Structure 1
Amino acid sequence: MTKSNPGNFFEDFSPGQTISHATPRTVTEADVAFNTALTGSRYALFSADSFAQNCGLPGAPIDPLLVFHIVFGKTVPDISLNAVANLGYAEGRFLAPVYPGDTLNAVSEVLGLKQNSNGKTGVVTVRTTGFNQDDEAVLSYVRWVMVNKRDAGAQATDAPPITPAPFVKGAELLLPPGLDFEGYDLGLAGSPHTFEDYAIGEKIDHVDGMTVEEAEHQLATRLYQNTARVHFDALAQKDSRFGKRLIYGGVTISIARALAFNGLANAQLMLAINGGRHVNPLFAGDTLYAWSEVLDKEDLGSAGALRLRLVAVKNQNAASFPFKNDAGEFDPNVVLDFDYWAAIPKR
């Protein structure tokens, strides 16, 4: 009798099932430094205690994307160890700030199941909530993932998946307690541009590029304790569709967000994830570029919020071509289409 865990296959999930995920994770300043080394992120709010304290916070919070990746990583052994692909995210809300020393854990609920016509795979929709050591919810999001079946002939339960909201409403955005941009230093942040300087429909080419190395994406995925075979097991991927390991989509998101510093340096604090799709794979050796579009704006009183579409492109300047063709299909070089809200100071 084996004691190892092969992970769940599609037929192992059931509607309404609740899964408490293993291995709580205390997040430290070392994690922050390591994540910075892997992504190159330069946002001042997460880089300096003194900067964060001038903004009314007790110290530099953990970058919400690092919180997202760590919570996501908790879910992989139970949700997506046998995944073919993570298909997308929606309804992501950052509910409370996380600081070094906080401990994160995660619980997921199965919202929907849909077997694919090939009989070999199915799509599982889950809502995951991340909690801190005080059982306070810090993050909630929906994701849907294509999972292999153990047996193509096995009976599987279908349950219509939910239709996620197209975006988080501005009125639902939460600012961290105490956040006050009165002491915000635009010079130290690296940009003079505030809420009023951005217009709906404006597009920003972030100019810079970053080549993703094999060792870097492996270290990043291990940092998040994401054990998905498609990212780790090179031998198992030789007979896969692509013949090699895929870079975890969270690495793509974090690098693209780091690149967005050049043009959006003051839109530091991610408040919500409206939606995200990994539309094409990214591999080691690819070079990532990015551009953003301002989709909407919301005045939150003490701060503004920009709704931003972040598009990441591999091996081609991000602004040099249409990212969709006339039929509405993504260009093969587009790897990410990500929609989020971020807080930004007002004048």
Structure 2
Amino acid sequence: MTKTNPGRFFEDYAVGDLITHAVPRTLSGGERALYHALYPARSALYSSDAFAQACGLPASPLDDLIAFHTVFGKTVPDVSLNAVANLGYADGRFLAPVYAGDTLTSVSEVIGIKQNSNGTSGVVWVRTTGRNQREEDVLTYVRWVMVRKRGAGPAPKTVIPDLPDAVAAKNLVVPGGLSFAEYNFALAGEPHRLSDYDIGEVIDHVDGITIEEAEHMMATRLWQNTAKVHFDATNRPDGRQLIYGGHVISLARALSFNGLANAQMIVALNGGAHANPCFAGDTVRAWSEVLDKTGELAPGVGAARLRLVATKGFAGQLRGEDGKYLPEVLLDLDYWALMPL
């Protein structure tokens, strides 16, 4: 009797399956330090207890994407160990801040399946929820992955979930006590308020980062992401290790500080696609487009709906004349972030 886990294949999923993921993770300031070493993250709210307390929080939370990567990493052995690719995200909401000392767990429900026409793989949709040690939901999101089949066999009944185009502004969760009424723009790094941004405005974040293999490997290990395509070069015909898509998300989010320093807290992931594969040696740049804005959600607090694009190309360039993503585009992420009005 084998005691090792070969990972699930497409045939191992059925709509309605509830998967409790192993290995709870207690987070500390160590994860914050490593995160800020791997990415040029420098948001004031996530860097300073004093700044966070001046905004009404008890202390500086851990970066939102630390929570996301941790919850995501728990799911990999059960959802995407045998994935060909992680295809996208939708309907994600950050429900509560995560602080040093919190312990996170993950649970996923299978909400959709569809076999590909080639008969060798299929797409699986799951809704994942991350909870803290008090059984409070801290975030939830849907993602879909392409997973290899174990062998030939009949296709299951196709079920494609009905997902919203975006999280409605009324459903955004603002952390209790958060106030930007006395927001310190000088310490935050830029003077720009939500009202200074126009819908349709495109922001070139200017800077670029060349991805090194060692940094990517450290990141996937940090988040306990065991997907084979990130570790084992023999899993791809070209013999290359695929850069974890979350690594690209965090790089792009960190780069967006230059021009969006006051987009402090991610509160929703409306949608996202890893448009093209990313490999070590690629130089990642980022640009954003303002898609929408809210009114006041809490004292001095509003939200901007932003499109964040990671690319090897130029700002503002996303799709070709055929409507497909340009080959240099790596990530197209639609999210809501809280900002001072």
TM-score if structure 2 supplies the norm length?
Answer: 0.98
Amino acid at match of 1:323: L
Task: Give, in whole Å, the separation in 2 of the partners of 1:6 and 1:202.
Answer: 47
Task: Give, in whole Å, the separation in 1 of the partners of 2:163 and 2:84.
Answer: 21
Q: Map 1:120-139; keep pairs closer than 5 Å.
A: 120-139=120-139
- 1:277 to 2:273 alignment: yes
Measure how far apart 1:209 and its partner are. 0.5
Q: Any conservation in 2 of the 1:112–1:162 contact (CA below 8 Å)?
A: yes
Task: Give, in whole Å, the separation in 2 of the partners of 1:54 and 1:232.
Answer: 42
Q: Any conservation in 2 of the 1:10–1:147 contact (CA below 8 Å)?
A: yes
- 1:218 to 2:184 alignment: no
Once the two structures are superposed, residues 108-149 of structure 1 have per-residue CA deviations (whole angstroms, 9 ceiling, x without a partner) of 000011111111000000100000001100000001100001
Task: Give, in whole Å, the separation in 2 of the partners of 1:57 and 1:122.
Answer: 44
Measure how far apart 1:83 and its partner are. 0.2
Q: Map 1:173-184; keep pairs closer than 5 Å.
A: 173-184=172-183
- 1:257 to 2:257 alignment: no
Once the two structures are superposed, residues 58-102 of structure 1 have per-residue CA deviations (whole angstroms, 9 ceiling, x without a partner) of 111011111111100000000000000000000000011110000
| One of 326, 332, 339 as aligned partner of 1:331 | 326
Task: Give, in whole Å, the separation in 1 of the partners of 2:340 and 2:271.
Answer: 24
Name the SS for the 2:217 alignment partner: helix
Q: Any conservation in 1 of the 2:174–2:298 contact (CA below 8 Å)?
A: no
Once the two structures are superposed, residues 293-343 of structure 1 have per-residue CA deviations (whole angstroms, 9 ceiling, x without a partner) of 0000011242110000001112x3x32x63211111111000000000000
Amino acid at match of 1:9: F
Q: Which runs of 5+ in 2 are unaligned?
A: none
Task: Give, in whole Å, the separation in 1 of the partners of 2:317 and 2:18.
Answer: 42
Name the SS for the 1:14 alignment partner: coil
Q: Map 1:215-254; keep pairs closer than 5 Å.
A: 215-234=214-233, 236-237=234-235, 240-254=236-250
Aligned to 1:311: 309
Measure how far apart 1:195 and its partner are. 1.1
Name the SS for the 1:208 alignment partner: strand
Query: Between Structure 1 and Structure 2, how many residues are aligned?
Result: 339
Task: Give, in whole Å, the separation in 1 of the partners of 2:326 and 2:276.
Answer: 9
Once the two structures are superposed, residues 16-60 of structure 1 have per-residue CA deviations (whole angstroms, 9 ceiling, x without a partner) of 000000000001100000011001101110011111011110111
Once the two structures are superposed, residues 250-285 of structure 1 have per-residue CA deviations (whole angstroms, 9 ceiling, x without a partner) of 000000000000000000100100000000011111
Task: Give, in whole Å, the separation in 1 of the partners of 2:155 and 2:226.
Answer: 25
Measure how far apart 1:156 and its partner are. 4.5
Cα distance change on mapping 1:307 and 1:83 into 2, 3 Å: same
Task: Give, in whole Å, the separation in 2 of the partners of 1:65 and 1:27.
Answer: 13
Between stretches 256-265 and 61-70, larger displacement belongs to 61-70
Task: Give, in whole Å, the separation in 1 of the partners of 2:338 and 2:175.
Answer: 10
Task: Give, in whole Å, the separation in 2 of the partners of 1:57 and 1:242.
Answer: 48
Q: Any conservation in 2 of the 1:82–1:228 contact (CA below 8 Å)?
A: yes
Q: Any conservation in 2 of the 1:83–1:145 contact (CA below 8 Å)?
A: yes
Aligned to 1:341: 336
Alignment root-mean-square deviation, CA: 1.0
Aligned to 1:90: 90
Measure how far apart 1:184 and its partner are. 1.6
Task: Give, in whole Å, the separation in 1 of the partners of 2:237 and 2:162.
Answer: 29
Measure how far apart 1:241 and its partner are. 4.0
Amino acid at match of 1:175: V
Measure how far apart 1:179 and its partner are. 0.6
Measure how far apart 1:164 and its partner are. 1.0
Q: Any conservation in 2 of the 1:11–1:155 contact (CA below 8 Å)?
A: no
Once the two structures are superposed, residues 139-189 of structure 1 have per-residue CA deviations (whole angstroms, 9 ceiling, x without a partner) of 0000110000111x1345234120210000000001111111123210010
- 1:147 to 2:143 alignment: no
Task: Give, in whole Å, the separation in 2 of the partners of 1:27 and 1:202.
Answer: 37
Task: Give, in whole Å, the separation in 1 of the partners of 2:298 and 2:176.
Answer: 14
Task: Give, in whole Å, the separation in 2 of the partners of 1:178 and 1:11.
Answer: 46
Amino acid at match of 2:326: D
Aligned to 2:41: 41
Q: Any conservation in 2 of the 1:293–1:308 contact (CA below 8 Å)?
A: yes
- 1:111 to 2:106 alignment: no
Q: Any conservation in 2 of the 1:279–1:330 contact (CA below 8 Å)?
A: yes
Task: Give, in whole Å, the separation in 1 of the partners of 2:47 and 2:267.
Answer: 18
Task: Give, in whole Å, the separation in 2 of the partners of 1:261 and 1:199.
Answer: 17
Task: Give, in whole Å, the separation in 2 of the partners of 1:256 and 1:210.
Answer: 9
Amino acid at match of 2:23: T
Measure how far apart 1:11 and its partner are. 0.2
